[in-house]
Every structure is written in C-alpha cells, then in structure tokens.
Amino acid sequence: MAITILIPTALRAFTDRRGEVQAEGKTVGEAVASFAKAYPDIRRHLYEEDGTLRSFINVYVGEMNVKNLDGVDTRLKDGDTVTLVPAIAGGRV
Amino acid sequence: MSVIPDGRLADLSNEEISRYSRHLLLPEIGVEGQRRIRAAKVLIVGAGGLGAPLALYLAAAGVGVIGVADGDFVEASNLQRQIIHSSKDIDRPKVASARDKIRALNPDVNVAAIGVSLTSANAMEIIKDYDIVADGTDNYQTRYLINDACALLGVPNVYGSIFQFEGQSSVFYAKEGPCYRCLYPSPPPPGLVPSCAEGGVMGVLPGIVGTIQAAEVIKLIVGGNDSLIGRLLLFDAWKMKFRELKIEKDANCPLCGEHPTIFAPIDYERFCGLKKTADEKPVETITALELKARLDNGEKIQLIDIREPHERAIVKFPDAKTIPLGQMSRRAGELNPDIDAVFLCKIGQRSVFAIRALEEAGYAGRMLNLRDGVNAWARDVDKNLPQY
C-alpha cells in the first residue's frame, strides 16, 4: 500500500531535506520501517535500542495519534498520510 | 470559563475605555472581558523569540501584571527575531530590556522582571502568584518543569515551540485536558534533535507562534471557547500551512493521569539525560590549538566536516572532507580507520552525534571531536574567520 510520510524539518537532515517521502506498508509500523530502510541514517532517531518507536516522536494518521488507535499496528489504507511530530524545544540542546 | 475570578474585577476609567475601545467593541471581549484582562496576572517564561511578541501584545492588551522570567543577557544574534530587544540593549539582562519596552508601551502594566532561570527550587514559588503561564523557553528541562509546576498548581500553560520553519502551539491545562507529558512522555536524548543555535530559525517564525500564544492567553482570560486545549497546532512558515492534531489526555500520565506519581518538581537535568551516566563512553576531544599544532607537525589527520553545504558556505574549513551528519552511517566506508579522524561542526555538538553514529555503524578507527567546533577555530586559530 502506498503511504505518504510527512517529515518535520527537525528530521529532514536525514531524508536529503525531503519533507514528504513515499513508503509501503499495511500498518503504521510497516510503513515507518520501510521508510527507515530507505534512509538508514534516520533509524537511531526513530527507534529505541529495543526497536520500539521513540516516545518523543508522535505518529499521526490523519489528525489522530496512533497511541489512541492501535499503535504501530494501526491499519493503513492506500493513499493514507502518516505525520511524524517530534518534540521541538527551540534554542538550546 | 475565564480563569480570572469575578472578585478581582474593578471598573474601567474613562481613559481605559478610550484606550481599549477596539476590544470593548468586540462582544466576545467587551467591558467585562477588558476588566478581566486588567485583573490578569500572566507569567512569560523566556524573554526571547516567543516571549517578545507575547510581552508586547499582552502589554498592549492591558494585562494588569506581566511577569517576565529569564536569566540571559541580550546578544547580537538574538536581534534577528527577539524584537523586544534593540541594538543598544546588547549585554543588558533580557528582563531589563523587556521591562523598559513594556513600560514604554503601556505604563499601566505592572511588570515583574525576574532575572533568573526557572528551576525546580523556585518554580512553584514564582508560578503560584500568576493566573496563566506562557512557555517561551528554548529547552526541554524548563518545558517539563513549567508543565509539571503548572499542573500541580492548577494553572494553564500556554505552550509554543519553534525550530527552523516549523512551530507548535497548544494549551496544556491538566484540569480540563492533556498536559505536555500526555503528548511527549519523555524528551529526546540530548542533541538528537539539533537546536536552533545549530539548525537555525526563521526570524518571523517566533513572531507568529508567540502571537498565537498571546491570543490563547487573552482567550483564557476573557473566557473564550475553542481554546487550544486538547489540540496541537502545527505551523510550517515555509509551506505556509497550518495543521491541527488531537491530543488526548493519557490515563497513564505520571502527572495528570489516574494514578499520578509526580507530586512536586523533579530533577529535570537528570530526566532530560543531561547528567552523564557512568557507563557512557566519553567522546575524545581535541582543542582548536591542539589540532593546529598537530597539522603544523605534518601529522596525517582526516578532517571531517559534518556540516550541510549551505552552512559550509558561511565559513569554509580548509582541507576538510565533507560528509553531512545525515549521511554519516551510510558513508562510513569512506573513512580510513588507521588514521585519526577529527570531526567538526559549528559548535562541537552535532559532531558528537556523528561520532556516535559511526560507533554504532561499527567504525573502529580513532575519532576526536573538535571542541567548540569551527567557531573555536575562528576564535583561537584563524581570527580572520567570522564566528556564527
């Protein structure tokens, strides 16, 4: 299933500055994994060492947080848009 | 529902009726709303890019008491976006400059200039005197601190945050909706997301996001419906797009959930991973002067500039191989593990992540981080280069 993933500016250094990338998957987890495979440098920003998605990045399908749906198992349909919404703080690390 | 109790309202003078007539003409605000605005006490944390429009618009609106908390001093690089400060304010405390501008704009505002950073030790004591807090800070520790202290005291927290071209805003009011922890249970490990000092920020972006915060503050005071409680507003200034996402209250939130475990501010440095853990392998560093000496000795060193092309155009570093941070893992094979590699960026923070990424990719050679980055080279070695 063709999925569009919207990349926030904070993560675009790892997607060759692209704000929108195409991915494949029947679920949110599969779509994000297919995207991370295409851009390996983003992996450590998306995943904890145990393979779960990092908690400072929220994943939305439409306007709903997948935390309030079925998490990474949330089903996607062809043409869905997945948005990554990381915490941003501003000036300092 | 207004957050300002009726008991604090007093009549407007004729001068006030003239001055605020454009508010009084709005049925949603009117005389009663303006009386609430005058009775309101709002704390702005951070007198920077977000705090500047917040302070100016809230002062113009006639907010009775405006507290401004910030321990920083005005620097030249602030002036591209922090419009409450001027060239003549460089090196002054930000709160002094902000206080002067607020008073000049509206002498009826009672300004509290709080020239310290908010900490776990002082936050509850400072925030308890205010009806609303506006978060205009620039770091995760203070954001979690403000969130926790506001939820514990029952004060709404009007949130705004910016990076490059993108902003977020919401209202975290645990009594009526989710808090920041419901959205982000924990912060990113330090440096994983670059700061504005390294990533840059479009100057008007905090102007827009801070003004959205000011609008939300006024609505909380007046009692407008449709506040940003439970909604996350995303703004992209480059695409000029707004999006709205839902934020649900998290039943498992340790602060405002069903079984809370946080009853007082915690150690936010530790929470945000800023205290070194014992098992973390330190990154070897080299100073600009040490690097210069080794290069002058004719030693073989691989210089790796991890900055993006547009950034190298600001200050070029001589004879360095360029591998942007975002390509480090996949280009690890271009390095020779038999020769020391020195990694450089603007201020020596992102270069640490380049080293960590290569460690994870299994690179076995010796890696050194240029302390304080290209700016240190400009400061200590080649004084003809600018610092940026």
Q: List, for residues B140-164, the tens digit of each pLDDT value.
A: 999 999 999 999 999 999 999 999 9
Q: Which of B142, B161, B192 to mutate to test the interface with A (most CBs of A within 10 A)?
A: B192
- Among the three residues B271, B301, B328, which one is the final residue of a domain in this structure? B271
Q: Clarify whether residues B226 and B317 are in a common domain.
A: no
User: Residue range A15-22: average pLDDT?
Assistant: 92
Q: Which of B80, B137, B163 to mutate to test the interface with A (most CBs of A within 10 A)?
A: B163
Query: Contact A55/B186, CB-based, under 8 Å?
Result: yes
| One-letter amino acid for residue B371 of the chain | R
Confirm whether B196 is domain-assigned: yes
Q: pTM here? A: 0.88
Type and span of the H or E element at B269:
helix B268-271
Q: Clarify whether residues B64 and B89 are in a common domain.
A: yes
The interaxial angle of helices B51-61 and B204-222, nearest 10 deg, is 40
What pLDDT, on the 0 to 100 scale, is given for residue A93?
42
Q: Clarify whether residues B42 and B152 are in a common domain.
A: yes
What pLDDT, on the 0 to 100 scale, is given for residue B194?
65
Q: Clarify whether residues B302 and B224 are in a common domain.
A: no
The interaxial angle of helices B94-105 and B51-61, nearest 10 deg, is 30
pLDDT of A13 above 90: no
Q: Name the residue among B161, B190, B157 with its Cα closest to residue B256.
A: B157
Confirm whether B171 is domain-assigned: yes
Q: Clarify whether residues B309 and B234 are in a common domain.
A: no
CB atoms within 10 A of CB B19: 17
Strand (E) positions, B284-351?
285-286, 302-305, 321-322, 341-344
Q: List, for residues A53-89, the tens digit of each pLDDT value.
A: 998 999 999 999 999 999 999 999 999 999 999 998 8
Q: Which residues contact A49 (CB under 8 A, 6 or more apart)?
A: none
3 state DSSP class of B22: helix
Q: Clarify whether residues B334 and B373 are in a common domain.
A: yes
Say yes or no: domain A2-86 is CATH 3.30.70.141. no
Active site residues of B: 196, 345
Sign of the torsion formed by the C-alpha atoms of B350, B352, B358 and B360: negative
Is residue B353 packed enough to be buried (19+ CB in 10 Å), middle (13-18) or exposed (0-12)?
Answer: buried
Confirm whether B388 is domain-assigned: no
- CA distance to A67, B178, B345, B360, B375, per residue, from B325 (Å): 30, 35, 9, 14, 18
What pLDDT, on the 0 to 100 scale, is given for residue A92?
52
> Phi and psi of B368, rounded to 5°?
-125, 145
Query: Contact B166/A10, CB-based, under 8 Å?
Result: yes
Question: Residue B128 in contact with residue B110, Cβ under 8 Å?
Answer: no
Query: Contact A90/B138, CB-based, under 8 Å?
Result: yes
Confirm whether B28 is domain-assigned: yes
User: Residue range A13-21: average pLDDT?
Assistant: 90
Q: Clarify whether residues B298 and B190 are in a common domain.
A: no
* Cα atoms found within 13 Å of the Cα of residue B119, Cβ hemisphere only: 7
Q: Clarify whether residues B240 and B369 are in a common domain.
A: no
Confirm whether B276 is domain-assigned: no
- Among the three residues B271, B303, B336, which one is the final residue of a domain in this structure? B271
Q: Which residues contact B271 (CB under 8 A, 6 or more apart)?
A: B141, B144, B186, B187
The interaxial angle of helices B30-39 and B204-222, nearest 10 deg, is 110
Q: Clarify whether residues B193 and B326 are in a common domain.
A: no
| One-letter amino acid for residue A3 of the chain | I
Residue B343 is part of a domain; what is its CATH number?
Answer: 3.40.250.10
ipTM for the complex shown: 0.91
Residue B111 is part of a domain; what is its CATH number?
Answer: 3.40.50.720
Query: Contact B193/A83, CB-based, under 8 Å?
Result: no
What pLDDT, on the 0 to 100 scale, is given for residue B200?
86
Q: Clarify whether residues B166 and B31 are in a common domain.
A: yes
Query: Contact A9/B164, CB-based, under 8 Å?
Result: yes
Q: Clarify whether residues B163 and B306 are in a common domain.
A: no
The boundaries of the domain holding residue B57 are 6-271
- Among the three residues B219, B240, B271, which one is the final residue of a domain in this structure? B271
B254 touching chain A per CB within 8 A: no
What pLDDT, on the 0 to 100 scale, is given for residue B281?
78
Q: How many domains does chain B have?
A: 2
Confirm whether B386 is domain-assigned: no
Residues 79-108 of B with CB under 8 A from A: none
Q: Which residues contact B130 (CB under 8 A, 6 or more apart)?
A: B41, B42, B43, B65, B67, B155
Q: Clarify whether residues B41 and B122 are in a common domain.
A: yes
- A55 closest CB neighbour out of B184, B243, B247: B184
Written as tens digits, the pLDDT of chain B (388 aa) is 899 999 999 999 999 999 999 999 999 999 999 999 999 999 999 999 999 999 999 999 999 999 999 999 999 999 999 999 999 999 999 999 999 999 999 999 999 999 999 999 999 999 999 999 999 999 999 999 999 999 999 999 999 999 999 999 999 999 999 999 999 999 887 766 667 777 789 999 999 999 999 999 999 999 988 999 999 999 999 999 999 999 999 999 999 999 999 999 999 988 988 766 555 678 999 999 999 999 999 999 999 999 988 899 999 998 999 999 888 988 999 999 999 999 999 999 889 989 988 998 899 999 999 999 999 999 999 999 999 9
